[in-house]
């Protein structure tokens, strides 16, 4: 994170949360500044340090550093959440569709997958529910990412005993579509027209028209070529998880908190900070302005719409016939691109 981004960040959270404003004690001595508290929090997030490892660097105690981390994450979500955690707008969708077509997948918005974050201090009463494929309890992050490492959807907090389908059933990845608020799209593949975009996914996900999965056992040359291209493009989400963990080491190692909501705040804050770095380092981010960002976030919304419309969209979302047709059309499309290259 570059200096000017961090300075704007500190300024924003000082205005949003009084905890970061420097105050005087009973005898008039100035306490810790907002910069000290923000530096302590950002070092814990970036390096995965324990709370007592920043005391000498910023002259702050262990309990104060832990409290600063909690307030820092909440302030980040409150100030920047709605701006960065919102669904892609019509302009974003058009850009993603254009890039997907250039990469040989017309109608693609990105790749979807899940990542586990180990929960070291999971209470004994929860260990059975949160322990899944590994030996230790964990929480799951479901994310959708594009080639530029931008995370367009994030849903965190499901127990580690769940699989990708369980997480999908609880997440809000399709809530915008089911509400009827998604941007209208239309694309053609192999002579067939579709009006729903899709994500690249692994074989775990269901046969819905919104997922294009890898062909696990290709039986001909066309299918084998498609499987190779699909797996190559789907690595975007794996690369995004790797960059997120390398930039914010706290999510690479075990989570040491006791409270699930605090751990969720840490993950959400790391994702928002990841957004800010990606935006700042992008081609059009020389003059990134964070001054007008300040509307409280509501990232977890429920679906409220007419039942009939919801059921119709829900059935269309899970139409296996459209999924099969789209998969075959993309196999032919990839083969034609391969033949022309």
- Tens digits of residue pLDDT in 119-131: 999 999 999 999 9
Nearest alpha carbon to residue 299 among 176, 177, 207: 176
Cα–Cα distance, 36 to 12 (Å, whole number): 15
What integer pLDDT is reported at residue 27 of this predicted model?
A: 82
Query: What integer best gives the mean pLDDT of the chain?
Result: 87
What integer pLDDT is reported at residue 292 of this predicted model?
A: 43
| Residues 234 and 200 sit within 8 Å (Cβ to Cβ) | yes
Q: Work out the burial of residue 21: count CB atoms within 10 Å of its CB; fewer than 13 is exposed, 13-18 middle, 19 or more buried.
A: exposed
Alpha-helix residue ranges (DSSP H) falling in 86-140: 90-102, 127-130
User: What would the mean pLDDT of 86-110 be, rounded to a whole number?
Assistant: 92
Given a cut of 50, whether residue 286 has pLDDT beyond it is: no
The residue ranges of every structural domain in the chain are 3-83, 88-259+301-340
What integer pLDDT is reported at residue 221 of this predicted model?
A: 92
Query: For residue 78, what pLDDT band results from cuts at 50, 70 and 90?
Result: very high
| Residues 110 and 142 sit within 8 Å (Cβ to Cβ) | no
DSSP H or E stretch at residue 12: helix 3-16
- Helices and strands (DSSP H and E) totals, the chain: 12, 7
What integer pLDDT is reported at residue 299 of this predicted model?
A: 39
Given a cut of 90, whether residue 244 has pLDDT beyond it is: yes
What integer pLDDT is reported at residue 68 of this predicted model?
A: 94
Residue with tokens 């819905």: 208
What is the sign, positive or negative, of the torsion defined by CA atoms of 24, 25, 29, 34?
negative
CA 93 vs CA 56, 89, 90: distances in Å: 47, 6, 5
Whole-model pTM: value is 0.86
């Amino acid at each position: 994170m570059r200096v000017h981004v961090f300075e704007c960040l500190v300024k924003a959270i000082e205005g949003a949360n009084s905890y970061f404003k420097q105050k005087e004690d009973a005898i008039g001595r100035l306490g810790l500044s907002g910069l000290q508290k923000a530096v302590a929090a950002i070092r814990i997030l970036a390096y995965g340090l324990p709370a007592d490892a920043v005391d000498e660097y910023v002259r702050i105690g262990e309990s104060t550093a832990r409290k600063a981390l909690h307030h820092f994450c909440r302030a980040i979500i409150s100030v920047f959440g709605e701006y960065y955690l919102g669904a892609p707008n019509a302009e974003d969708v058009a850009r993603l569709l254009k890039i997907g077509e250039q990469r040989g997948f017309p109608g693609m918005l990105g790749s979807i997958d899940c990542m586990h974050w180990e929960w070291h201090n999971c209470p004994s009463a929860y260990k059975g529910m949160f322990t899944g494929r590994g030996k230790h309890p964990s929480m799951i992050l479901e994310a959708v990412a594009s080639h530029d490492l931008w995370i367009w959807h994030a849903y965190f907090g499901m127990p580690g005993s769940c699989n990708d389908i369980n997480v999908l059933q609880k997440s809000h990845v399709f809530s915008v579509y089911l509400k009827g608020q998604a941007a209208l799209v239309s694309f053609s593949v192999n002579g067939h027209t579709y009006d729903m975009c899709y994500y690249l996914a692994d074989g775990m996900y269901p046969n819905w028209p919104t997922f294009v999965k890898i062909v696990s056992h290709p039986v001909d040359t066309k299918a084998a070529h498609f499987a190779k291209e699909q797996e190559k493009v789907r690595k975007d989400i794996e690369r995004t998880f790797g960059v997120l963990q390398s930039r914010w080491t706290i999510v690479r190692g075990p989570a040491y908190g006791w409270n699930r909501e605090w751990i969720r705040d840490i993950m959400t804050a790391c994702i928002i900070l990841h957004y800010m770095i990606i935006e700042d380092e992008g081609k059009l981010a020389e003059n990134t302005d964070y001054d007008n960002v300040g509307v409280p976030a509501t990232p977890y919304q429920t679906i409220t719409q007419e039942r009939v419309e919801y059921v119709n969209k829900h059935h269309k979302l899970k139409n296996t016939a459209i999924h099969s047709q789209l998969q075959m059309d993309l196999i032919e499309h990839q083969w034609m691109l391969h033949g022309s290259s």
